[in-house]
Amino acid sequence: MDFGFTEEQELLRDTARTFVERNCPPEKAKQWDDESYFPADVVAAMGDMGWFGLPFPEAWGGGGGGPIELAVLAEELSRASFDIGMLYIGTFIPGLALYDWGNEEQRARYQEGMLTGSQRFAVSISEPDAGSDLGAIRASAVRDGDHYVLNGTKMWCTGAGLPNCVIVMYVRTDPGSSRHNGLSVLIVDPSMDGVEIRRTPTLARHILGTNEIYLRDVHVPAENLVGPENQGWDVLMSNLELERTIISGSYVGAAQSTLDIAVAYAKEREQFGRKVGNFQAITHQLADLQVDIDSARLLTYRAAWLLAQGKPVAREASMAKLKGSETYVNVARWGMQIMAAYGFSTESVMSHRYRESIVAPISGGTSQIQRNAIARSMGLKGT
Ligand SMILES: Cc1cc2nc3c(=O)[nH]c(=O)nc-3n(C[C@H](O)[C@H](O)[C@H](O)COP(=O)(O)OP(=O)(O)OC[C@H]3O[C@@H](n4cnc5c(N)ncnc54)[C@H](O)[C@@H]3O)c2cc1C
C-alpha cells in the first residue's frame, strides 16, 4: 500500500499552488464572483501551463495525465474557489466525452482548442423537468436531411455564455423512445439561429455562470452528432465516475482553503483576553473539520487510484462526491460561525465560500442521488 504521490505529482501540486497564489488568490476569486467576471487571462495562463492538454493522450499532443494528476490539479486550483477549479474541470470533462466518442473530423476540429483551452465546452443535460431524473429529457432533435432540427428548453448549463464555448448537448432523437433510450449528443454552437441563452441569477458560481437555453427550430448539422445516434446515454455514463472523482478533488481543495482561513482567523482574533482559537469549543471543531477534509481527500484519491487502475469505481466515486461536497458545506458553515460577524460581512471571503458551498451537494448529482448509488452497491433498493 502506498499513500504517496510521485515526484511529478508533487511538482504539479506545488506548481498549481503557486499558480493560485499568483494568479487567483481567494480574495480575487471572491471579487470576480461578486462582479460576475470571467478571468480570461487566468484561463489563458492555465493553457500556457499545458493543463488543458493534460487529460488527453500524448500521442494526440496532450499531457497523458491520469485521474490522480487531474484530481491533484482540481484540488489545488479550487483552493482559489470551487468556481475557479470548474473553469478548468468544467471544460475538459465534456471535451473528453467529445474526444472519446467523436469521430476523426470532430477531434481534428477541436484538437488545438482542447489542448490549449482556447475552445471552451459546456455540458447540457438538465431541463425544467429533468433534474436528477436524466431519463426525463424531452428536448427533441428531428433528423431532416443533413441536419437535426432542435426544439426544447435546457437548464443550468454552466459556462455556456462564455466566449468561444460550444455546448455538448443531450437531446432525444427517437421520438418514440422513453427514459434512457433514444438520446443522442449533439454539438451546439450558441451562435446558431434559434438558440437563446439566458443567464440564471444564482447565489454564487458567478465566474462561469449558469444558463437557460431556449431552442427554437435550431438547425444543427448532422456532422455534429457525437457517437452513435440514440446512444447518448452510453456517452453520458462513460465519464460520470471520472467527473464525480475529479469534482471531489475540487471540493477538498475549496474546503481546505476555507478551513485554513478559519484557522488563521482563530489564531488572530482575541476575546476575553485569549485567542478564540484557544477555546476548546473552537479547537475541537477545527480538528473535526480537518478530519472530515482528510476523509474526503482519502475517498477522492482512492477513487482516482481505482480509475487509474481501470477498476470498478461507481460506488467509490459516489462516496467521494458525497463526502467532498458535504464537507465543503460543513466547513463553510463552521467557518462562518468561527469568524462570526466578520464572516457574515459580504466583504469576507468566508461569505463567498458560504454561498458557493451550498450548491456542492446539489450540482453534479445531489447527495440523495449519491446515497442511492451507494445503497444500490450494498444490495439495497436505492431509489
Ligand atoms: C450551479 C449549478 C450548476 C449546474 N450545472 C449544470 C450543467 O452544467 N449542466 C447540466 O446539465 N446541469 C447542471 N446543473 C443541474 C444539476 O445537475 C441539477 O440541479 C441536479 O442534478 C439536481 O436536479 P434538480 O435541481 O432539478 O433537483 P431535483 O431532481 O428536482 O430534486 C429535488 C430534490 O429531490 C431529491 N431527489 C430527486 N430524486 C430523488 C431520488 N430518486 N431519491 C431521493 N431523492 C431524490 C433531490 O436530491 C433534491 O433534494 C447545475 C445546477 C446548479 C445549481
Over residues 254-269, the mean pLDDT reads 98
- Report CA(94)–ligand 1 centroid distance (Å): 18
Residue nearest to atom 2 of ligand 1 (CA): 363
Asked if 97 and 180 sit in the same domain, the reply is: no
What pLDDT is stored for residue 381 in this prediction? Answer: 86
For residues 219 and 193, membership in a common domain is answered with: yes
Q: Is the pLDDT of residue 383 over 90?
A: no
Instruction: Give the residue whose CA is nearest to atom 24 of ligand 1.
Output: 131
Which CATH number characterizes residue 91's domain? 1.10.540.10
Name the domain boundary from 164, 198, 232. Answer: 232
| Single-letter code of the amino acid located at 140 | S
Residue 213: pLDDT over 90: yes
In this prediction, residue 89 carries a pLDDT of: 97
- Ligand 1, pocket residues at CB < 6 Å: 123-126, 131-132, 156-158, 202, 205, 210, 359, 362-366, 368-369, 372, 383
134 Cα to the center of ligand 1, angstroms: 9
pLDDT of 124 strictly over 80: yes
229-239: pLDDT as tens digits = 999 999 999 99
Is it the case that residue 249 has pLDDT exceeding 90?
yes
- Any domain includes 160: yes
Domain boundary among 70, 101, 120: 120
- The answer to whether the beta carbons of residues 177 and 7 sit under 8 Å apart is no
- The strand pairing partners of 148, in sequence order, are 143, 220
Give residue-wise pLDDT tens across range 3-25: 999 999 999 999 999 999 999 99
> Each residue of 303-342: pLDDT tens digit?
999 999 999 999 999 999 999 999 999 999 999 999 999 9
Q: Please give the distance, rounded to the nearest whole angstrom, from the Cα atom of residue 378 to the centre of ligand 1.
A: 23
Query: What is the domain range of residue 176?
Result: 122-232
Q: For 176-191, what is each residue's pLDDT tens digit?
A: 998 999 999 999 999 9
Overall domain count for the chain = 3
Domain limit, last residue, from 197, 232, 267: 232
Please tell me the predicted confidence (pLDDT) of residue 330. 98
Q: Cell 488543458 maps to which residue?
A: 52
- What pLDDT shows up at residue 211? 98
Residue 360: its pLDDT value, please? Answer: 98
Q: Does residue 60 belong to any structural domain of this protein?
A: yes
Confidence band, pLDDT 50/70/90 cuts, at residue 61 = very high
Pick from 235, 363, 372 the residue to mutate for probing ligand 1's pocket: most ligand atoms within 8 Å of its CB: 363
**Do residue 211 and residue 135 come from a single domain?**
yes
Residue closest via CA to ligand 1's atom 31 equals 132
- Three-class secondary structure assignment of the chain: CCCCCCHHHHHHHHHHHHHHHHHCCHHHHHHHHHHCCCCHHHHHHHHHCCCCCCCCCHHHCCCCCCHHHHHHHHHHHCCCCHHHHHHHHHHHHHHHHHHHHCCHHHHHHHHHHHHHCCCEEEEECCECCECCCHHHCCCEEEEECCEEEEEEEEEEEECCCCCCEEEEEEEECCCCCCCCCCEEEEEECCCCCCEEEEECCCCCCCCCCEEEEEEEEEEEEHHHEECCCCEHHHHHHHCHHHHHHHHHHHHHHHHHHHHHHHHHHHHHCEECCEEHHHCHHHHHHHHHHHHHHHHHHHHHHHHHHHHHHCCCCHHHHHHHHHHHHHHHHHHHHHHHHHHHHHHHCCCCHHHHHHHHHCCCCCCCCCHHHHHHHHHHHCCCCCC
Among 127, 362, 381, 383, say which to mutate for ligand 1: greatest number of ligand atoms within 8 Å of CB: 362
